[in-house]
Structure 1
Amino acid sequence: MTTIDLSPLYRSSIGFDRLANLLDSAMRGEQSSPGYPPYDIEVVDDNRYAITIAVAGFEEDELNIQVEKNLLTVSARKADKEQKKYLYRGIANRSFERKFNLADYVEVVDAKLTNGLLKIDLVREIPEAMKPRTIAINGNKGQTLEFRKEA
C-alpha cells in the first residue's frame, strides 16, 4: 500500500485538514469498496450535479438517502419475502451502502426512482457572504481631490 506525505500541504495552508482526511479515506476505500451498485456522477452545469445509481429490484421503501456533515449515504436493505429455489442467480439483489463526500455548500435537492435508476440531484449554493466581491480602494480617506489647471 502506498502512502502519501501531506505535510507540505499543512505547512502552507490552514483549514484543509478535511482534504487530507478525504484523500486518506479514498486511498483506503478504493481497495475495499465493492463495485455494487454501479453509479454515475454527472456535472449538469457549473453548480448542479446528479448521481444516478442502478438499484434494479428495489422498491422506494427499501431505499434510504441520508445526508450528515457533508456525507451523502445511500443504502438499501433487501429482505427476502419469498424463499425461492434458483438454478442460477445472476441478478445482484443484495443490501448495500454507498457513501459520497460532498463539498461545502452542496445540498441534496431531489431524488427520483425511475426504471430501476435512483437519481439524486445536488446543487452547490454558495452564500452571498462567501462569494467573491470587489473592494473599492478609498484613497485619502474618502476626500475628493481637485486638480486645477493653471493658465
Structure 2
Amino acid sequence: MVYLYVFEGAESEYVDDSVRGVTVSKANSVRGSTVIGQGKIDRQAFEYTIKQLNNYFAEAERASCSTYCESCLACLTGYLIYICTETHYEKCLRKVAKFVSEQNDRVYRPRGLLLTDPTTRGLRLIEISILDRPAS
C-alpha cells in the first residue's frame, strides 16, 4: 500500500521513496496538498481528484442558514431529529464516497490502483493501493 495524500495536521507516511505523502498545516480544516511523486498516476487526474475532494469538504464545513436551523432544530428535539434525517455534513460525506467510487471506476482501477475513501481513514489520509492485477 502507498499513502500518497495526507490531510492537514496528520503525520506523513510513505512506503515507496518515489511516492510520498505530504503534510501541510495551515489550519485544522480537512484539506490537503496536490503534491505527488513520480508513479502510476497522471498528475492532472490526481490534482483533479484532490481539488474535488477539497471542494466537497469545504462545502461540508461551510456554515449557512440551513445548517444553523438544522442545529437549532436538533437542540429543540433533544437531537432526536437525527434519527429521521441526515445532517448536511453526512450528505456531503455521501457525495465524497460517490465521487471516490466514480474516480476508482474511471481513473484508478484501469491503472492498477485503488483509491480508498478518506472517511474510512478518519479523514486523515487517502490511501492509494497498488493492485496486483489491473482491472480488465
TM-score, normalisation: structure 2: 0.26
- Larger helix share, 1 or 2: 2
1 or 2 for the larger relative contact order (CA 8 Å, sep ≥6)?
Answer: 2
TM-score, structure 1 normalization: 0.24
If each structure's strand is expressed as a fraction of its own residues, which one has the higher value? 1
